[in-house]
Amino acid sequence: MKIASPSGGAFFMEKKDLRQLNLEALETLVADYKQPKFRAKQIHEWLWNKSARDIEQMSNLPKDFRAQLQDQYNIFPISIANHQISSDGTIKYAFRLHDGFLVEGVLIPSKDRVTACISSQVGCSLSCTFCATGFLKRERNLRADEIYDQVALLRAESEEKYGRPLSNVVLMGMGEPLLNYANVLNGIKHITAQDGLNMSPSRFTLSTAGISKMIKKLGDDEVRFNLALSLHSANNEKRSKIMPINDSNPLEDLVEALNYFYAKTGTRVTLEYCVINDINDHPEEAEELVAFARKIKCKVNLIEYNPIDQADYEASSTQKLERFKSYLESRKIIVNIRRSRGKDIDAACGQLANKLS
C-alpha cells in the first residue's frame, strides 16, 4: 500500500491493515488460516473493544496464529506525540498518525463531565476566517480507526490524568466531518457499538459548518448522535464573508436540511454562534439569529471568540455577550454561553492549528 508522507514523498506499508477488515472479512481470514470461526470475533473484540495496538497483545489467540497474522498484517495506531496542560486543567494533545501527519485533540474537564474534542481531517478545506485550522492545507481525511483511536487514547488519558471516565465526545476539532462522511460514521459506530467502546450515541456530538445534502443524509441514515451547526451569522452576506461554505450552502438550504434531519431523527439541533466584536454581535444580528432559530427545532450556544494569529478579530465584551444572550432569551430562544477553555495553550474553540508537535 503506497502512502503519501508529510514531506511529499511516499513510502510503502508492506503489511496490510488488520482494522480495515470487518467481521465478515475477518471470518474469511481465519478460515484461510484454518482457524475456527470464533477466532474472528476474538480478533474483532481485541481491535474495537480492547483497543489493541499490536497483534501480540491478542493473548487468547494461539501463538503460532498470532505469528502468522503478524507476518501479513499490522494495526497502525495513532500515538500521542506531545501534550500541553492549561491552567484550567484542559489538556491539548498532538496525535501522530502512521504516515507522520499530526492532528490535535483536547480533553476538557468540568464539574460533572470530561469531554473529548477530536478531529476528522488533517487540516481543513473550508477556510473559515475566524478558525486557525481553516488556514491549514487539507492533507487528507482521517480513517475510521484514526477517529476511534483518538477517543480510545483520550478515554485512557481521562482516567489517568483526572481519575474520571470520559463522558462526552465532540467532533469539533480539525476538519469538516461531513466531508469525510463514511469514515466519520464508521468511526462513531465503533465508538458507540456494544462490541466497541460502548459509549452512548447521546453523549456524542458532530459539529458541521453546514453541508446541506450531507445533513439530509444524516437524517436518512437515522443517526442517533447529536448534531451542531456552526452558524456564526444568520445573514447570508455576512456569513459568506466569514464562512465561504455559505456560498454553496446558504441559510435557506440549511433550514430545509435541518428540518429534514429533525423529522427523520427527532433530535433537536444546536446552533453554535461564536460572538465576534463588531462582526456579528450587534442587535440586528441578534434579531436575525432569532428569526433563523424560530424556523427549526434548536437551542443556541453562544461561544466566546478565541483570538488567533491569522486574524484580527477580537472577542466581544462580557457586557455585549450577556446583552446578546438576554435578547435571545427575551424572544424565548433556549440559549447558553459556552465559556472557552484552554485559551492559554491554544486549545480553545477555533484555535487548533498544529502548533503542538
Active site residues: 104, 349
State the Cα–Cα distance between residues 79 and 82, nearest whole angstrom.
9
- By three-state DSSP, how is residue 13 classified? coil
- Quote the DSSP letter at residue 21: -
Fill in the amino acid letter for 159: E
Chain position carrying cell 485550522: 133
Is the separation of the CB atoms in 12 and 2 below 8 Å? yes
- Output phi, psi for 269, to 5 deg: -90, 150
Closest C-alpha to 238, from 224, 250, 226, 229: 250
Is the separation of the CB atoms in 55 and 70 below 8 Å? yes
Chain position carrying cell 511529499: 8
- Quote the DSSP letter at residue 193: S
Q: How far apart are the first and last CA of the chain?
A: 26
Bridging pattern class, strands 73-74 and 16-17: parallel
Residue ranges of the alpha helices (H) in the chain?
23-32, 38-48, 63-72, 144-162, 181-192, 212-220, 236-242, 251-265, 283-293, 318-330
Closest C-alpha to 304, from 287, 269, 280: 280
- By three-state DSSP, how is residue 208 classified? strand
Is the separation of the CB atoms in 277 and 305 below 8 Å? yes
Go through the chain and tell me how many residues it has. Answer: 357
State the Cα–Cα distance between residues 275 and 232, nearest whole angstrom.
7
Closest C-alpha to 280, from 270, 292, 289, 271: 289
Please report the sign of the dihedral spanned by the C-alpha atoms of residue 288, residue 292, residue 295, residue 300: negative
